[in-house]
Structure 1
Amino acid sequence: MNRIFFRFFMLVMLSITAATFVIYFTMSRLFGDPLEEIARRQASAQIFLIEQYVDEAPADEWLARLNRVREVSDTRFDLIALPKARSLLPAASLGALERGEVVLDVEGKSFYRRVDLKGERYIGSEDEVIHVQDLPIDVSLALQMEAVRYVIVALALLVPIALWSRAHWQGLQSLSRVADEFGAGKLSARARMQPSSSIYPLAERIDHMADRIEALLVAQKNLLHSVSHELRTPIARLEFALELLGAKANDPVLQKRIDAMEGDLSELNSLVNELLGMARLDSGQAPQRDTVEVAALLHTVEAALPPGQPLLTIDCAPDLGTIEADARLLGRALSNLLRNAQKYAALTIRVTARRDGRNVTIAVDDDGPGIPPDERERIFEPFYRLDRSRDRTTGGFGLGLSIARKAVLLHGGTMQVAASELGGARFVVVLPQT
């Protein structure tokens, strides 16, 4: 946010600077160089002496008057050849010199003027130029005055802009804070700005949007939670009924059907548990944090996995240490990752844990078929499953990875998926130390 207003301030300053140069060059083009006009006023006494005293002398006294002026003035009055004067002046000033006008050299603190155009002062006077040097020209004060003038104009523009920008900036900061809180799960966050605020219409629309999103999410969570709980009762009844039926069944075919139905009920029960887990994670409640040994947690998760292939190896760094986390919730996330790897790995699963500064990085690699790059983010969406994983044996419900990522995010960490060196998928979990 600060960057926006810094850029705006720089844009205003650049605009004022550009306007200053545009004004200067426009005034110079239309009315002449203002600095030259100031210098001409400062040299007006010497110009007056030449035009009103020396030039008013009769032809045979012109040089005598010029000499008298030289004696009483601190300024140098020299006669130079016309070709030399032409070589000392820029091309833009030669026209004025040829017309007999006074040509100022502000930087050199001097001016040039032809003696006359027809040789009426003395013999050869048409080929000579008066070069007056050491004039009392000082444009620095004028430049300082111009600078002060433009600084005052700039401040007159910037002060009201700054006051308006400050109120606007505070409003945007408030909206940014609300967006951060709302995105972090605090659904009650609102801007609540006064109608006099410059961004009140935007804040009002954001508040209405937040109200609608909060209502939809709360309704969704309530529905999910209620449905999950309501399903438990008929599931329990069916389980009880199947147990009674199985105890009385002597037909092997009927027993096989009962076993299949019990498997379906077990799957349905697992789905309800997953849905309730999702509902708890979506509630936004901060996890209960305790000091957790990362290596011990990984080995505990390993011990709870179903036995059999593929081969699982865990490589923990000796300096792995502890983190502040909810052991049950984080263990659930790691268990979901390892169970997912068990479904797709051919022979090998490798878990590595390293400490990187103030973070702990846990990577789970397998030698399975891997995950296409365009689906590596979608697999974390609830109920999303790859086409090849929709069969009954490996498909699951598409909730395990979503739950794992939500649990990691609640701990302030990240979870990413990439290609593994083993040929399959690589899930990387980064957890902060605190």
Structure 2
Amino acid sequence: MKTRKLLTLTKKKDIPIKRQFLVNYTLLFIILLLIGVVTLIANTLYVESMYEDVDQEYLLELYEDIELEGLEEAFLNHEFPDHAYLETISKNYTVVQQYNSPNEAGYQYELNDFLIEIDHYDTDLFIPDNGEYYLLLYLPVERFFLDVFLFTVLFFTICLLFILRWYVKRTSTQIIEPVEKLLNGVDSITKGNYETEIQFQANRELNQLKENINRMAAKIGEEISLKERSELLRKQLILDISHDLKTPLMNIQGYAETLSQFPSLSHEERQQYSSIVIANSTKANRLIQDLFDLSQLDMGTSRISLENHNLTETFRTIFSSFVDELEAKGIHYDVEIPDDLMTVKLDVHLFERALTNILHNCIAYGGKLLAVSLREDDKQAILTIEDKGIGIPKDYHEKVFEPFIRVDESRSTYTGGTGLGLAIAQKIIAQHHGIIQIDPDYTEGCRFVIIFPLSAES
């Protein structure tokens, strides 16, 4: 037996795909909004860390640092941008010292030029209360905005990449992976692996699609198995029919040729050979008739008329016709049939045919004791027929109701059976909405258990 393949995913909530998309898009919008807020906060912190507010206190601190350390050291200690520069200006607006400035020492500012800020630079002038020179600080405005812009873009991009990676993984788990599992499962099924079973938990529509595909695959696999089994049974049936018809037909042909070719046979010999021909003809005809009846039952073309009947009286009448045969063969019988009314829908003729086949089987193989009982239990009529014979192995409890199944491997027909009796009985009982089975717990012989639903009039 093949093991069913499992294609599994982590269990997820069963919600509609439309709602899932709405949740995902809403979540993405909120995430992008949060990224924007976080970027704005990070940008503010960056600006504050890289570019401190330039006020008079700050310029005073810078002025004092210059006096102690010089322009270059003060510039580097305050971590000014590369394009910024410092100048010390005399009171007549002449450059005394400079660092990183395009103006050399001795450069003379005009008053009007000095008061106008240079393009792309933010100019801060510090005039100390007591000092020989003024301090000029030039900060590049364009570079400032470029640094801030680059930081903002870089921070936003990194955050967005991490979030999108998480979002894509989430979406993949919810939709893409189940779809891939479905595609792989369908591909496996199209290759004939109908035992494949797709397993995952995702959105409602994908779960329904998965269940429908699994049911379809199981149904196709079942139909193919039934078709293969039916084909095998058909071939076996042809073989069995040929086998069972071969012996009687050969006997008929042989003894008929003997009667025809030897006219000098005595009257007693002719009678003996004629009896053999008749017996084999009867057996062949019975086999053909059973095959015809079984075919009708299989095709549903046999006429069945179910009417309410008292099962206790019907069974008592049928069993009474076997009493003489049982006594003639020395078989003891024990019958327990209640007097209570048990109304069951029956076709009496077909029901008698089914019981006759079962009783003949018990008489042929059941030894010297036959017990039958009828009882009511939970709106069901339960008929039990048991014997003390050779019994039926458990491996044959289901097979015995198939055509031409005999427990004896040699297929001996010394009992006169056709191998179709129990198969016909099972078909008839099924048409009466009943079931027949062999009790697996009974080990002293064979016990048939037949169950019929009681009619509403019981």
Task: Please classify the TM superposition score into its range, dividing by the shorter chain length.
Answer: 0.3 to 0.5
Of structures 1 and 2, the one with the larger relative CO (CA 8 A, separation 6+) is 2
For normalisation by structure 1, the TM-score amounts to: 0.47
- Which has more radius of gyration? 2
**TM-score, scaled to structure 2:** 0.44
